[in-house]
Amino acid sequence: MDIDPETDLVLERILNAPRALLWECWTTPEHLVHWFVPRPHKVVSCELDLRPGGKCNTTFEVEGNLMPNNGVYLEVVPEEKLVFTDTYTEGWKPNPEPFMTAIVTFEDLGDGRTKYRAVARHRSAATAKQHEEMGFSGGWGTVAGQLEEYAQGLMAK
């Protein structure tokens, strides 16, 4: 994948959890709500229809404010890749103020470890800069850590 340093923000981590379990955490609403936003914020609603064109809707509660994030999946490759965007909502309805497209990949490294990569692709350098200033690196890094911790908790059960 070509990365444009002007419009793309990238986070890579090695997570100590199997790829299949991380995939399950990303694609199952009952799991996603536990780790998808930095604590103490939380996901209060999650609807996923895991297919191209299927809805990818979450609502966050941040400091008492509800923040709906509605979009669609563009590509779904089981246990390998998720691509979703807020450019469109369910039924391919254009979003009047799209923010980004996310590309999340999972690479099995063996021994229960996974190379996790999240790319936030923006329509302009200004939007990417805004996202970085909002805390992309810290926030998405925190969320990757929460994902790893949550998955490890599932493994312990």
Query: pLDDT tens-digit profile of 89-103?
Result: 999 999 999 999 999
Main-chain dihedrals φ then ψ at residue 141, nearest 5 degrees = -65, -45
Q: What's residue 1's pLDDT?
A: 82
Residue 145 lies in a domain: yes
Q: What's residue 157's pLDDT?
A: 80
Residue 2 lies in a domain: no
Classify the phi-psi angles of 135: left when phi > 0, otherwise alpha if psi is within -120 to 50, otherwise beta: left
Residue 12 lies in a domain: yes
pTM: 0.94
Residue 123 lies in a domain: yes
- List the domain range (segments joined by +) for residue 128: 8-156
Query: pLDDT tens-digit profile of 16-41?
Result: 999 999 999 999 999 999 999 999 99
Q: What's residue 59's pLDDT?
A: 97
Contact predicate 49/156, CB 8 Å: no
Mean pLDDT (the chain) is 96
Rounded-to-integer distance, Cα 72 and Cα 93, Å? 10
Total number of domains constituting the chain: 1
Residue 102 lies in a domain: yes
Q: How many CB atoms lie within 10 A of CB 25?
A: 21
Query: pLDDT tens-digit profile of 39-86?
Result: 999 999 999 999 999 999 999 999 999 999 999 999 999 999 999 999
Residue 1 lies in a domain: no
The CATH code of the domain that includes 75 is 3.30.530.20
Residue 3 lies in a domain: no
Residue 67 lies in a domain: yes
